[in-house]
Amino acid sequence: MDAAPDDDDAAATSELAAPGLRIAFTGGGLGEVSVFDNATFSTIATCRASCTVPVTPGQSVQITAATPQVYGGLSGACTASGSFCDVTAGAGQTRVTATFTRAPGEVFTKLFDDGAIQSAAYDGAGRLIVASHSQLTKLSPTGATVWQLPLAVCNVATGPNNTIYAQSTTSVMKLAGNGTTLWTQPLDPNAVGCGRDDSHFEGFVHNIAVASDGAVAIHGDTGVARWDRNGALTWSIAAGGEDIHGLAIDLHGVVVITVESANAESMDLRRFAADGTELPGQEEVTPQHTGMFVIDPVGRFLITSSGHSHTDALGHSVRLSDADFAPNGIAAASSDAVWLFEDNDNDFFARTWTMQRFHADGTLASSYVAVPGHSQASSPDLGTSPHDLAGALDGHVAVVGEFNARDSVFRGWVTAFAP
């Protein structure tokens, strides 16, 4: 059950002599603390703010903490830099403090209770659109909810005049900036496929893109299709899809997709003009077989891939513990390129992930490493698991996905970072 939050100072002063477990949150960040009874093997309470949990003197409990931000450890009656510790309740009040702080450069972090965030895109005004299995939400630059719609959407993109394009499992739709639906069309068979596992994501997917004139294209499981700004299907072409769904539209309206190379070890590019004519492509644009790409505001291709124990992007290669591949993504944020890659293949619910920002000249501007916590072997790995990466024209970047704690998994999560 969720424990009711208290006003920390007042509650602590009035209840110092009363038996109970006082969980105090400090540091200004978001987090979740669960209290688990070691005798009955059951959760007594889950706290998302400072709370007091009824316990009896001598009762042995385990405290488990998780945060989508930066974890500062547990202190007080039990002290641990890891995510959990055991404590035996005393005759008076037993006090434990959990410290959660903001990440460097963080603008806001937001959690949702309607499932993991699957896709995200910034509009031209720096507002972030995020999609889950059941909701499409627009957030202000400071993280406030502008509007929320009950739409099951797997991928989103933004277009001219802050319009929003969204793909579901059966349709593609165009929305005005205020959330009003402008048109909806059924997906062409070549565009069917969200490009991700519905239960857990194994990679970042950008398979929908919008041209400067408002046309939209989607790369599905078997091919690619394009609609004009008014929703009329202009062409559909069978082209490699399967596990590779990358797509972008360049400054000239050319639709570019990734397909598996003949050697099955890398990715090729195929290019299609606005009228559907195939243009010369490019073979083996990546050294590995799984990844994504975007085209930045000045037309540069930004590509990342992973496989065979390393991930590669922007002229860099990083060795990984995953013997096959690890989820990885890339975004354009103003003139910067932002690269995110995950590691730790033994962690299912959460992985260590690294986000690096590079300036246009290739110099490293910043690097941030998020390390998930760990509970007992029978409990899920704690922390965040990114599913998408979005960049804004003003240089902001957002990482979205799922947040997992001991007693609540697959909560939606968004963190936005300043340039």
Return the CATH number at 361. Answer: 2.130.10.10
If asked whether residues 24 and 82 sit together in one domain, one would say yes
Is 0.85 topped by the overall pTM? yes
If asked whether residues 120 and 63 sit together in one domain, one would say no
Q: Which of 51, 83, 101 corresponds to the end of one domain?
A: 101
If asked whether residues 321 and 378 sit together in one domain, one would say yes
Residue 2 lies in a domain: no
Could you tell me if residue 162 is left (phi over 0), alpha (psi between -120 and 50 degrees) or otherwise beta?
left
β-bridge pairing 20-26 and 164-167: unpaired
First to last CA, the chain: 39
Give me the number of domains the chain comprises. Answer: 2
In tens, the pLDDT along 117-146 reads: 999 999 999 999 999 889 999 999 999 999
Helices of type H across 280-366: none
If asked whether residues 148 and 234 sit together in one domain, one would say yes
Residue 1 lies in a domain: no
CA neighbor of 45 nearest in space, from 24, 63, 31, 27 = 63
Q: Which of 35, 66, 101 corresponds to the end of one domain?
A: 101
In tens, the pLDDT along 196-249 reads: 654 444 568 889 999 999 999 999 999 999 999 999 999 999 987 566 788 999
If asked whether residues 119 and 195 sit together in one domain, one would say yes
Does the pLDDT of residue 413 top 70, yes or no?
Answer: yes
If asked whether residues 321 and 209 sit together in one domain, one would say yes
**Is the dihedral angle over the CA atoms 140, 142, 145, 149 positive or is it negative?**
positive
Residue 194 lies in a domain: yes
Reduced to 3 states (helix: H, G, I; strand: E, B; else coil), residue 209 is: strand
In tens, the pLDDT along 358-372 reads: 999 999 999 999 987
Q: Which residues contact 46 (CB under 8 A, 6 or more apart)?
A: 1, 2, 3, 32, 33, 34, 35, 405, 406, 407, 408
Q: Is the model more confident about 1 or about 300?
A: 300
Q: Write out the H or E segment, with its range, that includes residue 169.
A: none
If asked whether residues 71 and 142 sit together in one domain, one would say no
**Is the dihedral angle over the CA atoms 253, 355, 389, 352 positive or is it negative?**
positive
If asked whether residues 140 and 236 sit together in one domain, one would say yes
If asked whether residues 166 and 60 sit together in one domain, one would say no
If asked whether residues 90 and 226 sit together in one domain, one would say no
Q: Which structural domain range is residue 367 located in? A: 106-417
Q: Is the model more confident about 171 or about 311?
A: 171
Please provide the average confidence, as pLDDT, over all residues in the chain: 89
| 240 touches 246 (CB < 8 A) | no
Residue 3 lies in a domain: no
| 158 touches 165 (CB < 8 A) | yes
Burial status of residue 382 (CB atoms within 10 A of its CB: 0-12, 13-18, 19 or more): buried
Rounded Cα distance between 378 and 348, Å, is: 12
Q: b vs e for 56-67, b when ≥16 Cβ sit within 10 Å of the residue's Cβ? A: eeebebbbbbbb
If asked whether residues 139 and 223 sit together in one domain, one would say yes
Return the CATH number at 57. Answer: 2.60.40
If asked whether residues 51 and 28 sit together in one domain, one would say yes
Q: Which of 101, 123, 144 corresponds to the end of one domain?
A: 101
